[in-house]
């Protein structure tokens, strides 16, 4: 749905148009930009509060910088909606995150103004530093390089690694710390406390107002005067804060904190910092959800609220006449509490996604047994390993896509030591509108090749509960449970726990001519397909493997002795996934002359869209599965699906 822009905003197609305005007009631009984001997101959905919090910073940066020649890198990209609107995509913004529309994150192939693709956090400083070093090498000394990173993203190890390196490079790098004390959920950790100390130091805040302007002027006088001023500034800062400044210790010039919602002051400071050489950090204090009262009040809820009434604030949800199946994440959240009540060894860990994975339920019910460790997937895994060495059973819940960031720790710290860490990989398969950076396409392939690892995927909510129950049994070792984003298929899901034999699949329905092997929740699309096919006179058999490692070899022997046409279905990458595992089994056991068709995520990056749209695009929704069966099977006269 196209939404009209304000009087000034509708004249701005690119930053060059913004620069034609007087600074006195920029406050009105900010108001119109903020309102435009509210108007469009309320009717089309998307991330919300983060972009509202950086409206003034976005306008100031595009006003001062010479983008795209100057390189601007946004961290994660949740906050980049204003950036997109001001850089040639205002009229396309209503397609944001919609199948076939523009991406919800900065994307190099989408715009020259998107200097770096960002979907995972904490990459901006490293990327901007690489750009700055490259510019220095090429002699582009007038080129600016700016990384905008939130205080939540700053908790990740990669951000610290980049700061450590940047401090010794004489590069033209400005890091803007967007400090709103929030990631998706409230921030945690010592860094949060440190930043709070800085922002609440009244003597320091009185001193810092003019320091950037003074240093900028002295840099034009000469290097000696600039160095003397730097030393004086550093000693005063240390005295006022009664501690060494962390960023100064890493050889960054630290400026701030300043009001991130004062666009005119931001412009003044950014102009001054542009003239100061070397690595610099500007600390901006912002409010996530700024300008929309409800988002300011409940920033987690309004991170990505979906469709809502912008006047009343009512979040629009589909209403049903009868009970609906729960989200898989909520099944996890409630089930881990039930298990923890039975087993005092169970602990819960998440890297900054307590509401997203529903571990927040356990954090509220058992605060001493559930931990949000911040945006730090590597630490989450090794912290879990440490717990496991002491006889505890940690359930480490990390989105499938984010687990890629901790792969070395999975191998080195968990698998080699055979520790009973239960990895619950939420958002496995297609993650929907977040697109390629968030799809959980690779977990089955990258986990099944690790020794000592059990890799499983439930077809429904009851199986998720039972796999969680199984994983915390004695001597289980490393155990992966992958499950998708969104709702399950069972209304009556909260049934008594049962242990599932590790490596044991099941037959969903009998059939002849063609056997369909599936793993995980995508098996429910197979169920739909078989019902449709039965009505047409086809009778495929359906098997749910449940485990990709170890495979149910007895089940596979039975399949290949009775069928010479097999279809594998998975919501993971075809390269190295479940279908590949089945082909390896066939080769190892001498099964030849069998026709196998593998359905899954092809060897390319899939863009954003609703899950059913993407399943259809890749050919493994119910229609695609049925189409493959028709191509391979013989039609029967009378067929029924076995219960």
The H or E element containing residue 426 is: strand 422-426
Residues in the chain: 643
The span from the CA of 514 to the CA of 60, in Å, is: 62
Query: Cis omega (within 30 of 0) on the bond before 132?
Result: no
Provide the token pair at 366: 């058992």
Partnered with residue 560 across adjacent β-strands are none
Cis peptide before 593 (omega within 30 of 0): no
- Partners of 253 in the beta sheet? 280
Q: Count CB-CB contacts under 10 A for residue 499.
A: 11
Kindly write down the DSSP assignment for every residue of 492-538, as one continuous string: S--PPP----TT--EEEE--SS-EEEE-STTHHHHHHHHHHHHHHT-
Nearest-10 Cα torsion for 121, 125, 129, 130 = 0
Asked whether the beta carbons of 151 and 180 are under 8 A apart, the reply is yes
Cis bond before residue 68 (omega within 30° of 0): yes
Cα distance between residue 282 and residue 254, in whole Å: 6
**Locus of tokens 């590790």:** 502
Query: Quick one: which H or E segment has residue 348?
Result: strand 346-350
Distance CA 388, CA 466 (A): 21
User: Known catalytic residues?
Assistant: 288, 377, 405
Token representation of residue 3 = 């939404």
Q: What letter would DSSP give residue 94?
A: G
Count CB neighbours of 508 within 10 A. 21
* Residue 377 marked in a binding site: yes
For 638, residues 6+ apart whose C-beta sits below 8 A from its C-beta are: none
Task: Flag whether 94 is marked binding.
Answer: no
Residue-wise burial string across 271-310, b where 16 or more C-beta atoms lie within 10 A, e elsewhere: ebbbebebbbbbbbbbbbbbbbebbbeebbebbbbeebee
Q: Is 377 in a helix, a strand, or coil?
A: helix
Q: Is 291 annotated as a binding residue?
A: no
Residues 6+ apart with CB under 8 A from 259: 265, 266, 284, 285
Residue 614 to residue 619: CA distance in whole angstroms: 8
Among 112, 187, 125, 127, smallest CA distance to 159 is for 125
Backbone angles phi, psi at 138, to 5 degrees: -85, 0
Distance (Å) of CA 167 to CA 125, 173, 315: 11, 10, 45
Sequence-distant (6+) residues with CB within 8 A of 301 are: none
153 is in an annotated binding site: yes
Contact present, 406 and 478 (Cβ < 8 Å): no
Is 120 annotated as belonging to a binding site?
yes
Residue 78 marked in a binding site: yes
121 marked as part of a ligand binding site: yes
Q: CA-CA distance, 309 to 326, in Å (whole number)?
A: 24
Is residue 110 marked as binding? no
> Is 429 flagged in the annotation as binding?
no
Known binding-site residue numbers for thiamine diphosphate: 78, 119-121, 152-153, 180, 292, 377
Known binding-site residue numbers: 78, 119-121, 151-153, 180, 292, 377
Known binding-site residue numbers for Mg(2+): 151, 180
């Amino acid at each position: 749905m196209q939404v009209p822009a304000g009087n000034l905003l509708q004249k701005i197609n690119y930053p060059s148009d913004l620069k034609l305005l007087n600074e006195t007009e920029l406050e009105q631009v900010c108001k119109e930009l903020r309102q435009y984001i509210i108007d469009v997101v309320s009717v089309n959905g998307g991330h919300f509060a983060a972009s509202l919090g950086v409206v003034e910073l976005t306008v100031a940066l595009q006003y001062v910088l010479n983008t795209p020649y100057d390189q601007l890198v946004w961290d994660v990209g949740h906050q980049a909606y204003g950036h997109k609107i001001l850089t040639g995509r205002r009229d396309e913004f209503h397609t944001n995150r919609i199948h076939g529309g523009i991406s919800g994150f900065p994307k190099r192939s989408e715009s020259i103004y998107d200097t770096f693709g960002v979907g995972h956090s904490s990459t901006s400083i490293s990327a901007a530093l690489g750009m700055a070093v490259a510019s220095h090498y090429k002699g582009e000394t007038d080129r600016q390089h700016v990384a905008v990173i939130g205080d939540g993203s700053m908790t990740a190890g990669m951000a610290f690694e980049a700061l450590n390196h940047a401090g010794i490079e004489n590069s033209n790098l400005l890091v803007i710390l967007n400090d709103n004390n929030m990631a998706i959920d409230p921030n945690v950790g010592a860094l949060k406390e440190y930043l709070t100390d800085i922002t609440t130091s009244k003597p320091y805040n009185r001193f810092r107002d003019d320091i950037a302007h003074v240093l900028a002027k002295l840099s034009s006088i000469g290097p000696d005067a600039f160095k003397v001023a730097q030393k004086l500034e550093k000693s005063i800062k240390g005295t006022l804060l009664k501690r060494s400044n962390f960023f100064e210790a890493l050889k960054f010039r630290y400026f701030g904190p300043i009001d991130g919602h004062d666009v005119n002051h931001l412009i003044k400071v950014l102009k001054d910092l542009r003239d100061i050489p070397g690595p610099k950090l500007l600390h901006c204090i912002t409010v996530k959800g700024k300008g929309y009262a409800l988002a300011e009040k409940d920033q987690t809820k309004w991170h990505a609220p979906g469709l809502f009434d912008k006047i009343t604030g009512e979040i629009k949800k589909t209403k049903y006449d009868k009970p609906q199946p729960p989200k898989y994440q909520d099944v996890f959240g409630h089930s881990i509490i039930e298990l923890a009540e039975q087993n005092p060894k169970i602990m819960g860990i998440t890297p900054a996604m307590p509401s997203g994975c529903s571990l927040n339920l356990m954090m509220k019910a058992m605060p001493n047994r559930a931990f949000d460790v911040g945006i730090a997937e590597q630490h989450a895994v090794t912290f879990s390993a440490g717990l496991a060495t002491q006889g505890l059973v940690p359930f480490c819940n990390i989105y499938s896509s984010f687990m890629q960031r901790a792969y070395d720790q999975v191998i080195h710290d968990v698998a080699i030591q055979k520790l009973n860490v239960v990895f619950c990989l939420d958002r496995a398969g297609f993650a929907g509108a977040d697109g390629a950076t968030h799809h959980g396409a690779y977990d089955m392939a990258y986990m099944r090749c690790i020794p000592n690892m059990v890799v499983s995927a439930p077809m429904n909510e009851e199986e998720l509960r039972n796999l969680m129950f199984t994983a915390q049994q004695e001597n289980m070792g490393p155990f992966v449970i992958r499950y998708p984003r969104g709702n399950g298929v069972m209304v009556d899901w909260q049934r008594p726990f049962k242990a599932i034999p590790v490596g044991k699949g099941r037959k969903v329905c009998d059939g002849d001519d063609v056997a369909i092997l599936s793993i995980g929740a995508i098996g429910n699309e197979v169920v739909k397909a078989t019902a449709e096919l039965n009505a047409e006179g086809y009778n495929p058999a359906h098997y749910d493997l449940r485990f990709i490692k170890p495979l149910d070899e007895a089940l596979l022997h039975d399949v290949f002795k009775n069928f010479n046409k097999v279809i594998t279905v998975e919501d993971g990458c075809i390269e190295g996934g479940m279908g590949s595992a089945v082909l390896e089994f066939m080769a190892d056991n001498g099964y030849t002359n069998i026709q196998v068709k593998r359905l899954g995520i092809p060897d390319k990056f899939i863009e954003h869209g609703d899950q059913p749209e993407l399943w259809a695009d890749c050919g493994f929704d119910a229609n695609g599965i049925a189409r493959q069966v028709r191509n391979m099977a013989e039609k029967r006269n009378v067929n029924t699906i076995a219960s």
